[in-house]
Amino acid sequence: MGKFLIRLIKKNKKFFLLGKVLYFLFAANLFSPNGGRKKYPKVLQLPITYRCNSRCVMCNVWRMDHKNEFSVEEFAKFMKDDIFKKVESVGINGGEPSLVSNLPAYAEKILNLPSLKYLNIISNGFIPQRLLLHVQKIYDACKKRGILFHVSISLDGIGKIHDAVRGRENVFEKTVASIDEIIRDQAKYCDSYDVACTIVKQNVNYLVELDTYAKRKKYNIKYRLGIENKRIGNYDLREQYSVMEAPFRQSAIEFFHYLMHHSEHLSDRFKYYAIFKWLCSEKPKRMLGCYWQEEGITLDSKGNIYYCAVASDSLGSLRVEKGKKIFFDRKNIEYRKNIVKNVCNHCIHDYSGRPRFQDVWNFLLYMIKDNVAMKFYRFKARFML
């Protein structure tokens, strides 16, 4: 009966859309988290190395000290810490994860987490053979444990634009080779993939070309704004990359407006609407959810723990103390409350999490109004000719 109902709904496009809207609405939060609840984290962000072969205009990670990073043995001990016992989703990033020669061995330790359901990795794809070998091995291990594996590759423009954002010559072809191979034989590498573009001054006026290129090549491309982020130490680079000031801000607004109407998935449309409204406002308010407000943890390659990567200082080190003691420490929880109260509204990082019901509701009304206005305009235009 259930399956029959789902098939019927899928066949009827309007029912299907209504189902999606209702699901989206009821998955929303009635209240915003204030950062004060002591919950075990469900998501773990894992910068597995500070080493990087990219020289991105919006990032200083490659300048950071990468000595004394954890060995597989030490990492295995960290993964056994109680603080990770409810983690369902892990995101491996860096630096560049594919530079870690025994990356699959680290992934094996992650897969031992008792509540794990999802594993994600983000890479610049500059060394296709090495990356693909790593992800193939990790995916084989994921399949054995029933863990879903997602691969994300960064692509910030076509040809020289991508190279300019990444600060390296002739890397566009290599990145594209990685993406194309993953798409060509996805069953070998991952359950799902996406291509991630970070919007900065250097590419903001070339995004329509990139989007057209991506569509032509059937890339599942997502966009995010380049923003200030403590973990990657990019505060002093703002002038160099940020699109927050005129005239770049207007280009970004127009592009997010375009995405809001042309993205396939409702959740993406909401995300782009939230970024669009945030960019348009003089007193921005975050509408996107964020797990890091209460349910996220960041662990770096030296055993340091943070709340979110964007705003949190290091809270302590697993080399010194147990994770639970650090994560739930009263002073640290007060610190997180302070982040949620004073920083989150200024943060437009595309982290996910459950948004507020009221914001989802406003988004749906906005889309309906926009749709009706467009239909009315088309109707009027027929009589103007």
Least distance (Å) between residue 288 CB and ligand SF4: 7
Q: Would the CA dihedral through 80, 84, 90, 96 be positive or negative?
A: negative
Can you tell me which of 351, 356, 360, 363 binds ligand SF4, judged by CB under 6 A? 351
Q: What gap in Å lies between CA 347 and CA 119, rounded to an integer?
A: 25
> Contacts with ligand SF4: how many residues (CB under 6 A)?
13
Can you tell me which of 308, 318, 326, 333 binds ligand SF4, judged by CB under 6 A? 308
Contact between 199 and ligand SF4 (CB under 6 A)?
no
Contact between 318 and ligand SF4 (CB under 6 A)?
no
Q: What gap in Å lies between CA 54 and CA 126, rounded to an integer?
A: 8
Can you tell me which of 175, 251, 293, 332 binds ligand SF4, judged by CB under 6 A? 293
Measured distance between the N- and C-terminal CA atoms of the chain, rounded to whole angstroms: 52
Question: Which residue lies nearer to ligand SF4 by CB, 24 or 292?
Answer: 292
Least distance (Å) between residue 293 CB and ligand SF4: 5
Contact between 234 and ligand SF4 (CB under 6 A)?
no
Q: What gap in Å lies between CA 39 and CA 219, rounded to an integer?
A: 37
Can you tell me which of 46, 83, 90, 339 binds ligand SF4, judged by CB under 6 A? 339
How big is the chain, counted in residues?
385
Contact criterion met (CB below 8 Å) for 53 and 127: yes
Least distance (Å) between residue 189 CB and ligand SF4: 29
Contact between 290 and ligand SF4 (CB under 6 A)?
yes
Neighbours of 112 (CB within 10 A): 12
Question: Which residue lies nearer to ligand SF4 by CB, 275 or 339?
Answer: 339
Task: Write out the two tokens for 256.
Answer: 């997010």
List, as one string, the DSSP characters of 246-278. TTHHHHHHHHHHHHHHH-SSHHHHHHHHHHHHH
Contact between 344 and ligand SF4 (CB under 6 A)?
yes
| Integer CA distances (angstroms), 183 to 138, 151, 158, 200, 220, in order | 17, 11, 18, 26, 10
Contact between 133 and ligand SF4 (CB under 6 A)?
no
Helix (H) or strand (E) segment spanning residue 358: helix 357-384
Question: Which residue lies nearer to ligand SF4 by CB, 103 or 290?
Answer: 290
Q: Which stretch binds ligand SF4 (CB under 6 A): 15-23, 66-74, 305-313, 362-370?
A: 305-313
Binding site for ligand SF4 (CB under 6 A): 286, 290, 292-293, 308, 310-311, 339, 343-344, 347, 349, 351
